[in-house]
């Protein structure tokens, strides 16, 4: 793993010093706000602290509900160095477990997705059903009073919201996802019915930057007209028309109305849910800490960003499309349409990769200007306030 801050002077900064810098910026009113302190993205102590204070306690999106269609369909995801297994059950529900055998903790599954009615540990062949129950433990009858019912997989908290699957590693019952995001759903995104969108692709990417650098980049659209000329800038949404939403402990969003009421970015004629300007409105939002979503009447792009070190992250992302849009694609045209869309998304990600890695590289310097935020970068300030609140000791 790369650590682009290794020689920057930020890396060895103590946690209390980083938290003090972060708190100072977070307490500054938005009208006078400055960027997130550089040390927050480069300090090793802060990185260690946020693994415990954020990723071991907060809800993390691991995928979409429709990615697990049949009993036994599973996804694996790594959160704060912990491998998570998410499985569709016989009754249609979904459960989440630690992806480790209850014997001596060998990883059960290496695949990122698949389907199986049994999960067998490669080490000693302990075997579990999709409910996480131990159903076979070879030769364990040699151990007095061994009870299979007490040696199942370690279960985790899991919830569904608007078509997304969230997992929480906390030992205590966390606040419900729906409760945390109720205002966002009621006032903005609920009208789109994201849960009905069909997931059509899922990919991963590893970039050499801090995970928060991608959050910084995604939570503002100030860069779109300049940096996304081949992709998102084609929707022609004037910067003056962007609106940044209310302050909240759990999310931040901004939205804009595009010029055209037909074509890409607009609602299908058969869409009777969206009215007025909402039929051509894009909403970019961040579910804190690390889920990013671009939502349009005809398109949904989600990203989950998870750190692999100070200077490297892995992002899992997917695209989902409303069913009425998919219904218009002729079967013999689908593969080309999907390939073209995949290429388009790859180009958009490459446009962002240059920016995100440059942000990490530039902020590694300990001699920097004060910085300033544009009026439509309010979501970045909101994210900074979230970090300060959740990370304070």
Please spell the DSSP secondary structure of 104-173, one letter per residue.
T---S---SEEE-SEEE-TTT--EEETTS-EEE-TTGGGSTT--GGG--PPEEEEEEETTEEEEE--SS-
Query: Do residues 115 and 68 touch, judged by C-beta distance below 8 A?
Result: no
CA–CA separation, 58 and 61 (whole Å): 10
Q: What is the largest CA-CA distance in the chain?
A: 73
Comparing 5 with 41, the larger pLDDT belongs to 41
Return the closest-CA partner of residue 60 out of 387, 291, 388. Answer: 291
pLDDT confidence of 3, banded at 50, 70, 90? very low
Query: What does the mean pLDDT of the chain come to?
Result: 95
DSSP 251-284: EEEEEEE-S-SSSTTS--TT--S--GGGGGEEEE
Asked whether the predicted pLDDT for residue 6 surpasses 60, the reply is: no
Give the least confident one: 77-91, 167-181, 232-246, 339-353: 232-246
Task: Return the pLDDT at 192.
Answer: 98
Asked if 207 and 353 touch (Cβ cutoff 8 Å), the reply is yes
pLDDT at residue 70 in the model: 98
> pLDDT value at position 5?
39
Q: What is the pLDDT of residue 393?
A: 85
pLDDT in tens, 322-362: 999 999 999 999 999 999 999 999 999 999 999 999 999 99
Q: What percent of the chain has pLDDT over 70?
A: 98
Q: How far apart are CA 173 and CA 201, in angstroms?
A: 32
Identify the CA nearest to 315 among candidates 300, 329, 305: 305
Q: Are 156 and 162 in contact (CB under 8 A)?
A: no
For the stretch 32-55, pLDDT in tens is 999 999 999 999 999 999 999 999
Residue whose C-alpha is closest to residue 206's, from 286, 339, 305: 305
Cis upstream peptide for 289 (omega within 30°): yes
């Amino acid at each position: 793993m790369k650590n682009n801050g290794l020689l920057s002077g930020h890396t060895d900064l103590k946690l209390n010093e980083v938290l003090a810098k972060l708190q100072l910026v977070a307490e500054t009113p938005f009208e006078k706000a400055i960027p997130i302190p550089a040390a927050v993205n480069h300090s090793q102590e802060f990185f260690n602290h946020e693994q415990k204070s954020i990723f071991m306690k907060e809800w993390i999106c691991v995928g979409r509900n429709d990615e697990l269609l049949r009993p036994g369909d599973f996804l694996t995801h790594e959160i704060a160095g912990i491998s998570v297994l998410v499985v569709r059950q016989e009754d249609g529900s979904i459960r989440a477990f630690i992806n480790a055998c209850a014997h001596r903790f060998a990883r059960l599954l290496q695949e990122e997705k698949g389907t199986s009615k049994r999960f067998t540990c490669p080490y000693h062949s302990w075997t579990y059903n999709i409910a996480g129950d131990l159903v076979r433990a070879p030769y364990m009858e040699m151990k007095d009073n061994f009870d299979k019912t007490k040696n199942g997989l370690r279960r985790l908290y899991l919830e569904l919201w608007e078509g997304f699957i969230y997992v929480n590693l906390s030992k205590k019952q966390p606040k419900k996802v729906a409760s945390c995001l109720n205002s966002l759903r009621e006032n903005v995104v609920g009208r789109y019915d994201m849960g009905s969108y069909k997931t059509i692709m899922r990919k991963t990417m590893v970039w050499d930057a801090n995970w928060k650098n991608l959050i910084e980049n995604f939570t503002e659209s100030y860069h779109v007209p300049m940096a996304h000329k081949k992709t998102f800038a084609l929707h022609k949404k004037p910067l003056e028309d962007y609106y940044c939403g209310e302050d909240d402990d759990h999310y931040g969003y901004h939205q804009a109305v595009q010029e055209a009421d037909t074509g890409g970015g607009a609602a299908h004629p058969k869409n009777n849910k969206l009215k007025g300007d909402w039929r051509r409105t894009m909403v970019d939002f961040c579910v804190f800490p690390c889920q990013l979503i671009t939502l349009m009447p005809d398109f949904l792009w989600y990203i989950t960003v998870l750190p692999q070190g100070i200077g490297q992250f892995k992002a899992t992302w997917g695209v989902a499309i409303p069913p009425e849009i998919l219904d218009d694609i002729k079967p013999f045209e689908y593969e080309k349409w999907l390939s073209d869309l995949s290429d388009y998304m790859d180009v958009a990600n490459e446009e962002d990769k240059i920016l995100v890695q440059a942000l990490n590289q530039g902020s590694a310097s300990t001699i920097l200007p004060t910085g300033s935020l544009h009026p439509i970068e309010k979501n970045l300030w909101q994210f900074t306030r979230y970090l300060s609140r959740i990370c304070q000791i």
